[in-house]
Structure 1
Amino acid sequence: MSADQIGFALLILGLFLLVGKVIRVKVGFVQRLFLPSSIIAGVLALLLGPQVLGALAEQAGYDGFSEAGIFTPEMLDVWAALPGLLISIVFATLFLGKDIPTPKRAATLVGPQLSLGFALGSGMYVVGLLVAVLILVPFFSSSPMMGALLEIGFEGGHGTAAGMRGVMEELGFEDGADLALGLATVGLLAGIIIGIALINWGVRSGKTELLKGDVKASVDEQKGLFAKDENYPAGEMTTRPASIEPLSLHVAIVAVAILIGWVILEALRWVEAQTYGGEDAAFELFTFVPLFPLALLGGVILQLIAKKMGAAHLVDHQIMLRIQGLALDFLILSALATLSLSAIGSNFAPFVILAIVGIAFNVAIFVIFAPRIIPRYWFERGIGDFGQSMGVTATGLILMRITDPESESPAFEAFGYKQLVFEPIFGGGLVTAAAIPLIYATGPYPLLIAMTIMFALSIGLGLWFFGRNKKEAAEAEEAVEAT
């Protein structure tokens, strides 16, 4: 494959991303669903590719589009390889440029938020693995690794699902990544639709403390545009362009963070090979762990080094978010464009069962446990975790922004603190990365037992410690905010 073919494939991705944005601006029902332009573009590319247009052309006896749709096989090969590369960029940028909160304030706000987040993350493994061992394996001859797809697709989202493709294929679970991508799409749509419905229910029933009246978003918000008089800077200039372009500096920092993660992963694989691993080993873990969770760790290490050296001010988190957003947009687009609909079709019943169970579980946790665990602004804070557990962090942020448009509650702050602990574990963290290899090596039951214990501890601690002392916890939060 030539450099020209790779470059042209990237140019076409950019064209489709722009078309997706135009559709978001022009089509009303797409706006009301708050669908990201990358997903719109990805679905459009999927329809024009070999899975839909190519299949229809083949049935009609026309060979012109049957192989790759309107694209070329080389273009699809490039797109298929992109998610596994871009996911490391997404995770490396998560904590770069972030301020470390005071321990007292973080601990006060993060406790109940972590209980809820860990209950959602571990609980999806519990219900997913139970569905797998009780229904999918005995009745549909599915792989027990299906039980991990709920957390990968719903909590991890499109990026994590696409990033796990290589691991799943290496372990013989070829349909896993496509099913996880399908679940991520279902989760994202359901997260927005059900999330808006829950907010309307919360307003009508008086459960929201800030939002009163009908839930409406402005036309510009629905289109995903800023008004002419709005000014939201993309980031701050931390270096003089005469020495180095600030964006170039931040890209270089991301590259170093990924390299640190790569060194750590290679070291872990070497230790594993020298101890219990090797060709005849019955169990190997780090051989199948992807790079992206270690890239996240590399970013944390680099941020701590920068802070220790007094150079943290040179790393702007807003610019890191722009780099992350660029990588995520192209990741989602390329992943959806190369999605295998045949994999979903051949596993349609298990796919539907997992999706229904996952949605029901997330709604139940939010409605039943969030008000009993979070002491203040439970709806405003809990809806963010609900949205994140249904697809991507952006879904949770959208729902929080609707319930708390002026950031009057500690919802965004508490959510951010929770992410510092939550992201390295679930939603693409170490547990997510290790789940498929663990199930492959040991079967579903060890992971099921471990996640059941974590789920019980999360719910128990939330109800017993935070829920039982909601008044004291609320007063503690108010006291911390006042200082």
Structure 2
Amino acid sequence: MSPTTVALAILLLGVLALVGIAVRAYSKTAQKLFLPVSLIAGFIALIVGPQVLGRLGGWLGWDGLTEGGLFGAEVMSVWSEIPGLLISVVFAALFLGSAIPSPKRAVTLLGPQLSLGFTFASGQYVIGMLLAVLILVPLFNVSPMFGALIEIGFEGGHGTAAGMAPVMTELGFEEGGDLALVMATVGILSGVIVGVIAVNWAARRGHSETLDVKSNQDPEIAQGFYHRDQPSGGAQTVRSESLDTLTLHIGIIAVAIIIGQGILSGLQAVEQWLWADSIEIFAYVPLFPLAMLGGVIIQLVADKTGLANLIDRGTMERIQGLALDTLIIAALATLSLDAIANNIGPFAILAIAGIAWNVFVLFFLAPRFIQSYWFERGIADFGQSMGVTATGLLLLRMADPKQESPAYEAFGYKQLAFEPFFGGGLVTAASIPLIVQLGPYPLLIVMAVVLVGSILTGLFYFGKRDTFVVKSMR
């Protein structure tokens, strides 16, 4: 594959992003659903790629479109490799530029938020694994790995789904990556639709303390543009005559990924030395959760040495956003529709059960875990558990447009204690290898324990102390 083909494939992703933002700006349907541009662009690429246009061309005798659709087979080959590479960039930048709070402070201030987040995530595993062992495996003869798809797709989102695809393929679940991507798409769409309905319901019924019925009807949010009060994309932390700030931050992310690779290689070496003959887990763990740990290590060192001012959070978010948008477009463009058609029954059961669980947690458990501003703080976790962090922040902005509640602070710090484990963290990365090595029941039991513990602490400990916590934060 020539360098020219690689460059062309990357340029075409940028063109698709421009087409997607034009669709978002002029399509009322896309605006009402708050569809991310990367999702729109990815679906456009899927339609004009080999899965739709290519097949249509084959039926009509246009053989030139069969292998790669409008883009060609070589471009599609480049795109298929991009998600597995960029997901490490996304996770390496996750905590860079943010002060790492002590675990004691996180637990003291954000106990209800953590309980709610762990309830969403562990419940997705419990529901999925129960359905797998009781219904899906016996009736549809699918792999037990099906049970992990809800958390990988819903809580993890498109990035995690794409990042886990090589692991699932290596372990014999070839269709798992495509199914996880579609699960992520279902999660984002249903999360936004249910979330918008929930915001309007909360405003009308008085369950929100910060908004009225019209507060979420902001055309600026709907179109996806800033027409006023444009925020800064990042601060200059080094002088341009020395080095461009963007170059510095890309270098920091590179070091974080290298540290992650070193940690992963070390863990794999220890595993091979001690217990690989009986069980192998780290041999199949992908790089991206360890790249995230590498970023945390760099940030901790920067905080301790007084160099934290060199790392700008806004610049990290721009790099992270570029990688994530590119990843999603490429992943959706190379999606296999055969995987969905061949597994529509068990997939539909999992998706419906996952949506039902998340809705139950939002409306029944969240007001019992969180005494003050329960809706604002709950809707953010609901959005994240149905898609990605951006979905949660989108719904939170609709529910609390003037940032009058402690929801933003609670949600932000909660991420620091939550992301290392779920939504692409260590638990997500290890779930598929654990199911293959030990069977579905150990993971089911562990997640059931986490779920019960999260519910009990949310109801009887953190929830009772929440009023005090909120007052201390204000």
Aligned-partner Cα distance in 1 for 2:391–2:242: 38
- TM-score, scaled to structure 1: 0.96
Aligned-partner Cα distance in 2 for 1:163–1:231: 33
Aligned-partner Cα distance in 1 for 2:241–2:435: 52
Q: Does the 8 Å CA contact 1:126/1:452 hold for their aligned counterparts? A: yes
23 and 112 in structure 1: CA distance in 2 versus 1, 3 angstrom threshold? same
Residue 61 of structure 1 aligns with which residue?
Answer: 61
Aligned-partner Cα distance in 1 for 2:332–2:412: 28
Counterpart code for 1:295: A
- Please show how residues 222-371 of structure 1 align to structure 2 within 5 Å: 222-227=222-227, 229-277=228-276, 281-371=277-367
SS in 1 for 2:81: helix
Residue 392 of structure 2 aligns with which residue?
Answer: 396
Aligned-partner Cα distance in 1 for 2:197–2:43: 25
- Please show how residues 408-419 of structure 1 align to structure 2 within 5 Å: 408-419=404-415
**Count of aligned residue pairs for this structure pair:** 474
Counterpart code for 1:254: I
Superposed CA offset, 1:113-142 (max 9, x none): 000000111000000001111111000001
Q: Does the 8 Å CA contact 1:257/1:298 hold for their aligned counterparts? A: yes
Q: Cα offset for 1:103?
A: 6.5
287 and 101 in structure 1: CA distance in 2 versus 1, 3 angstrom threshold? closer
Q: 1:420 aligns with which of 413, 416, 422?
A: 416
Range 119-128 or range 208-217, more displaced = 208-217
Superposed CA offset, 1:42-68 (max 9, x none): 000000011001111112222121111
Residue 96 of structure 1 aligns with which residue?
Answer: 96
Q: Cα offset for 1:307?
A: 1.3
SS in 2 for 1:164: helix
Q: Does 1:478 align with 2:471?
A: yes
Aligned-partner Cα distance in 2 for 1:374–1:211: 18
Aligned-partner Cα distance in 2 for 1:133–1:100: 39
Q: Does the 8 Å CA contact 1:155/1:391 hold for their aligned counterparts? A: yes
Superposed CA offset, 1:273-295 (max 9, x none): 11111xxx231000000000000
Q: Cα offset for 1:215?
A: 4.9
Q: 2:449 aligns with which of 439, 448, 453?
A: 453
Counterpart code for 2:395: L
SS in 1 for 2:65: coil
Q: Does the 8 Å CA contact 1:53/1:65 hold for their aligned counterparts? A: yes
Q: Does 1:107 align with 2:100?
A: no
Residue 142 of structure 1 aligns with which residue?
Answer: 142
Q: Does the 8 Å CA contact 2:112/2:466 hold for their aligned counterparts? A: no
Gaps of 5+ in 2: none
- TM-score, scaled to structure 2: 0.98
Aligned-partner Cα distance in 1 for 2:118–2:469: 22
Range 416-425 or range 55-64, more displaced = 55-64
CA RMSD after TM alignment: 1.1
Q: Cα offset for 1:199?
A: 1.1
Counterpart code for 1:477: V
Aligned-partner Cα distance in 2 for 1:101–1:431: 22
Aligned-partner Cα distance in 2 for 1:92–1:191: 26
Range 34-43 or range 149-158, more displaced = 34-43
Q: Does 1:217 align with 2:217?
A: yes
Q: 2:378 aligns with which of 370, 376, 382?
A: 382
Gaps of 5+ in 1: none
Range 364-373 or range 206-215, more displaced = 206-215
Q: Does the 8 Å CA contact 1:239/1:314 hold for their aligned counterparts? A: yes
Aligned-partner Cα distance in 1 for 2:470–2:17: 43
Q: Cα offset for 1:217?
A: 2.5
Counterpart code for 1:147: G
SS in 1 for 2:64: coil
343 and 103 in structure 1: CA distance in 2 versus 1, 3 angstrom threshold? closer
Aligned-partner Cα distance in 1 for 2:174–2:142: 12
